[in-house]
Structure formats: C-alpha cells, structure tokens
Amino acid sequence: MVPQIDTTGNARRSDGAPPVVGVIYNPRSHRNRGRDLDIAGRPNIHVAEPREREEIRAALSEFAALGVEYLVINGGDGTVRDVLTAGLAVFGEDWPELAVLPKGKTNALNVDLGAPAGWTLAGAVDAWDQGQRIARRPLIVEPAEGGGEPLAGFILGAGSYATGVRAGQEAHRLGAFNSLAVMVTAGWGVLQALFGSDANPWRRGVRMDLRLGSEGNPLPHAGAGYDGRRSIMLASTLERFPGGIRLFGALREGLKIVTLDRPGRRMLAMVPLLLAGLKLKDPDSRGLHYSTADMFELVIADEYILDGEAFPPGRYRVSQGPSLRFVVP
C-alpha cells in the first residue's frame, strides 16, 4: 500500500494500517550499548543487524522484497554512509522514507535534520504519520574513469580536514563527541596551523585540483605558496552543522564547496570568526573560495574523508544523489 502525503507533508495510508518498517541496527555504534529494539516484535517491523558492509545490501534487498516503506537507520554518520551506499543498487531513485537514530560518535546528519538526540525506535515509528519530512540529497562520489562502485554520504573533506578527522578520533578517546568533538578539533587545528611550520600537516595542505560543473571550470587559486596544494576542501549538501559553525558562509542549499588555499597566519587567526559567520570582502583574493555546482571533479594526491572514513587518493566525480525524504518529529 503506497502512503499518501497530505498538504502538511505528513504520511497517511488509505487503509489505516501502520507502515512496513525496516530497521538497520548497528550494534557497534557508540550509543548502542543498550538495545533500542523494544518494539521490534511488532509484525510490521523488520530488523537487520548486519555486522559487515556486504551484509547491508542483502538486508536492504530483503526489505525491498517485503515492501518496506519506512527505513530506520540506527547508527552514526558512518552507518548512514554505508546504508546509503549499499542502497544505491537496491533502491536507485525510488527510496523508502528514512529516519536516523543518532547513535554514533558523530551525528552531523541529525544535527542538520533537527531530530532529538535521544530519539528512540518507538519514537521514530510513531513519527511516521505525524512527523515532518525534510528532503536531502547525498553526495555521490565515484571514480571519474570508472572501475569502482559509487559511495554516498553527506560530508566530503580533504587536506587538513583529514588531519582533523584523525585528531577527532583522539578527542573521542578523551570523551568528546558530536559538537564538542568538532569544536575541540577545530580549535586544536587552528593553533597547529598558526604556530606550526610548513612541515606541519595542518599547514602544508594537499595537492588537489578541482573542476566545477559539467564544463570543468578550474577553481581559482590565490597563488600564495602555490605548488598545486590547498589547505582544506569541504563539500556537503547539509545546511546546518555541529556547534552552529557555518562551514559554507551564507550558502545553504544544494552542493556547496569551500576551499582554502595555503593560508597566511592572519587568515588563520580569523578562522573562528569565519566559522561564526564573519563575511570577508573579496574572500577569493585571500585564498578562501565558496562555490556551488551541480557536480565537480576532484583529483587528489592524498586520502579524502567521506563521513568520517578515509578513502584512497585518485580522480573522482562528485555529484548529488537521489532526493531522500527524512522523517523528523
């Protein structure tokens, strides 16, 4: 039975029956030490606990065969990435509605969506017929020359962002998670880049080339210290970020990209203000570039990070995936 969407964006079934729900439960997620499966015995709820990525696609295929119309992902950003990646081959452009229970060490997607930090499976199921719908399109990252399966996620980064993710793992070990981990890592990175030498990984950047749009327009470079390196690159389709930081300045919708060329120390000292929303006059001349594009090509000589996990250097095409509808209370 296909649910009907009323003018408020809520879901209704003409037969009054509850939705067919599929749950991907990651038992290894940071906040899944206790089990949030108290309503899993209901006949309309189907739970899978894949422990390996290869098992996720099989679970989603079973859900598709069952006619699942509401997919609940219980885990953090990495779990969401793995489910969306596996689901590309299963659902294509026709996905069930989704909800995300923020159970990981980082839950940037849920910060953007505004779902409560303590959201439970029961709460998510109850929200299906009364909750609001928020549309988001994930990033699709695929080898530009073919030969590999695409990945799907929401935050792509390289350069000192990759260094920051590694530092963030240390922040997790010290007990900082979510927005706190972001702020601790960002602050530490600014200090390292301000006072470190050019050999410091926070400062020296990574060789990368970006070509925007189907026309392949090269992203400009301010020239300071230029040898094909940029300090940082971030791309995302999210609109709000942990800690209230404004990664993309005034840009909100669609595929957004921000890059920082090799920065001077004065620019680095301004990073906290920029993240708080400070607008620079002619930022491009200072090596700070805000861009939007329907797609772009990235050639990078070091690892890039997609939703917290490192992937190998290479040449990639980055575009927007299918429009997904997330349920929130």
By the 8 A CB rule, do 32 and 74 touch?
A: yes
Element (H, E) at 200: none
Per-residue pLDDT tens digits of the chain, which is 329 residues long? 444 444 334 444 556 688 999 999 987 654 555 466 677 778 899 999 998 888 999 999 999 999 999 999 998 899 999 999 999 999 999 999 999 998 877 788 999 999 888 888 999 999 999 899 999 999 999 999 877 899 999 999 888 788 767 655 544 443 434 444 444 444 444 444 444 456 656 567 789 999 999 999 999 888 776 778 888 889 999 999 877 888 898 888 999 999 988 777 777 778 778 888 888 888 998 888 999 999 999 999 999 989 988 899 999 999 999 999 999 99
C-beta contacts of 58-61 below 8 A and 24+ residues apart = 59/22, 59/24, 60/22, 60/24, 60/86, 60/87, 60/90, 60/91, 61/90
Sketch out the chain's domains with CATH numbers: 4-136 (3.40.50.10330), 155-306 (2.60.200)
Would you mind telling me the total number of residues written for the chain in this entry? 329
- Give the pair of three-digit tokens for residue 56: 């996720």
CA distances (Å), origin 66, targets 2, 16, 40, 53, 98: 13, 18, 16, 21, 16
pTM of the model: 0.85
- Give the pair of three-digit tokens for residue 52: 């390996």
C-alpha neighbours within 13 Å on the C-beta side of residue 86? 22
User: What is d(CA 48, CA 164) in angstroms, rounded to the nearest whole number?
Assistant: 33
